[in-house]
Each structure stands twice: as structure tokens, then as C-alpha cells.
Structure 1
Amino acid sequence: MRLTQQTNYSVRLLLYCAANAGVPSRVADIAASFDMSETHLFKILKVLVDAELVKTVRGRNGGVMLARPAEEITIGEVVRAAEESFALADCFDDGGHDCPLVQSCEYNRILREALGAFFVVLDRYTIADVARDRPDLRFLLGIEDALRPPTLAAS
């Protein structure tokens, strides 16, 4: 299984908001940090707003913020919101199945168990866990630059 780029960018957007906690993050700044188009970011943002992981703040100083504390948003929750399907095999789909064993297949049961274990692990970790102990996170995202006082040139 491979997670989509949408999931990757969803986690990145949430990390940016976690690093910029308490202050709305501008979409243009987030897009620039990850070298992605604002249009693409807005599509991802809609998914995260619908999942109640982020909220938007309107107005001059508006932007995007976490809807809940980073400690309450699990990686599993983000993956579930961002991914469209977790069908590991054709027999996972609810639609038509061409395999006569689909209702009693041990392979299907094993794959479902594996997917469940995957989410057990992802649900143990939060956005805060990923962002924690990263003093350089704000700097790497370009957030710190705006908040640091200018350094004096050496005489």
C-alpha cells in the first residue's frame, strides 16, 4: 500500500499549523513552504475542513488553524480523511466481485486484519508527536524568519 500525495500534503499542512499554533497560517505561506500550488492546497484544505481537522479564519489576518490541539489529532485520523480508498485487493471493494470465494476468503480476512493493525499504529501518534522535539521546524518551514529580529552585521 502506498499513501497518496494528498495524505502527505495533509500531514504537512497540519504540521505547519501546529508549528504556527495560535496564529492563523496564510495559504500562500503554506504553499510556498512546500513548493506547491495554492490551488492544490485549497483542494487539500477542503478535505481537512470537512474532516474538522482545520478551521479557516476569514478577514485581513485570517488563514488556517488547527481545529483542535495537535495532541488530539491522530495520524490515523488524517490518513482516513485524506485517502479515498483502502482497498488492498479487489475483494475489498463493495462493488461487484469476480471471485467466488470473496465471502469466505482467508486472504481477505488477513488483509483486513493487516489494515486494522496499520491503523492501530497510526492512531497511537498525533500531529504533536511528529512536530515535537523539532526546534528547527519553524525555521525549516520559513515561519521563524518572520518572527526573528534582524541580526546585526558584524562591525
Structure 2
Amino acid sequence: MRLTRQTNYAIRILMYLATNPGRLSKLGDVAKSYAAPEPFMFKILQPLVGCGLVETVRGRNGGIRLGRPAATITLREVVVLMEESFAMAECFDNGATDCPLVFHCELNVALRQALEAFLSTLDQFSIADLVENRPFMSETLGIPLHAEQSALS
């Protein structure tokens, strides 16, 4: 299974925001840190805002921030939100197929178990887990540390 580019960047947006806690971030800065086009990042941001993972603040000094604590946002939640399909074979989830074995094959059972194992593993990791090394993350992404964050490091 391969995650889409949109899912990859959705996770990156959340990681950026988790690395910049308590402050608003500009989407342009997030896009720049990942060398991604801002319109592409804006498109990815929409479902994250729609389900409450990200909040937007309008106005001249507005920006974006996490809608919930990073420790409560699992990778599974983000992947399930962003991926359009988990069909690993044309017969997965009763897809159209001309395979004569479709109703007598254990491939779907095996694929469903594999998918559930994959998603269960993702459920064990939060966005906070991905950014535990905040000073390194901040430096890499070009996010200046607040004085109180520096004291914690």
C-alpha cells in the first residue's frame, strides 16, 4: 500500500503545527518549509479544517493551528480522512471484477486483515509522537523557538 501525496502532506502540515504549539502559523510558511506549492497545501488543508484537526483564524494576524492537542490526533485518523480508497485489489469491497473466484476466494479476507493490521499500527502513533524532538524539528522547519520552549529543551 502506498499513501497518496495528499496524505503525506496532511501529516506534514499537522507535524509543522505541532512543532509550533501555542502560535498561529501561516500556510505560506508551512508550504515554504516543505518546498510545496501553497495552492496545493491549501487544498490539503480543507479536509483537516473540516473535521476539526486544524483551526483557522482570519484576519491580518490570522493563521492556522491544531484544532486538538497533537497527542489526540492519530495517524490512523489522518490516513482514513485523506485516503479516498483502501481497495488493494479490484475485488476488494465488492468492486467490479471478472474474476471467477470472487465469491469463493480468501484474498479479500487476507487483504482486510492486512489493512486492519496496518490501520491498527497507525492508531498507536499520534502527531505528538512524530515531533517529540521539537528543537530539531523547529530548526529543520525554520520555526523560531519561543523563550519558554528553549528553556524546556
Same fold (TM over 0.5): yes
Q: Partner of 1:10 in structure 2?
A: 10
Larger Rg: 1
Unaligned runs of 5+ in 2: 148-153
Q: Partner of 2:73 in structure 1?
A: 73
Amino acid aligned to 1:71:
A
> Structure 2 CA distance, aligned partners of 1:104 and 1:49?
42
What count of residue pairs does the alignment treat as equivalent? 147
> Structure 2 CA distance, aligned partners of 1:132 and 1:103?
47
Task: Note the C-alpha offset of 1:4.
Answer: 1.1
Aligned-residue CA RMSD (Å): 1.6
Once the two structures are superposed, residues 2-48 of structure 1 have per-residue CA deviations (whole angstroms, 9 ceiling, x without a partner) of: 11111111111000000111111101110110111110000000121
Task: Note the C-alpha offset of 1:81.
Answer: 1.1
Unaligned runs of 5+ in 1: 149-155
Q: Partner of 2:105 in structure 1?
A: 105
What TM-score do the two structures reach when normalised by structure 2?
A: 0.89
Query: Which 10-residue stretch deviates more, 97-106 or 75-84?
Result: 97-106
Amino acid aligned to 1:82:
M
What TM-score do the two structures reach when normalised by structure 1?
A: 0.88
- Which runs of structure 2 are paired with 1:11-30 in the superposition (5 Å)? 11-30=11-30
> Structure 1 CA distance, aligned partners of 2:100 and 2:120?
30
Q: Partner of 2:120 in structure 1?
A: 120
**Paired-residue identity, %:** 53
Task: Note the C-alpha offset of 1:126.
Answer: 0.1
Once the two structures are superposed, residues 68-104 of structure 1 have per-residue CA deviations (whole angstroms, 9 ceiling, x without a partner) of: 0000000111111111111111011444232233233
Amino acid aligned to 2:35:
D
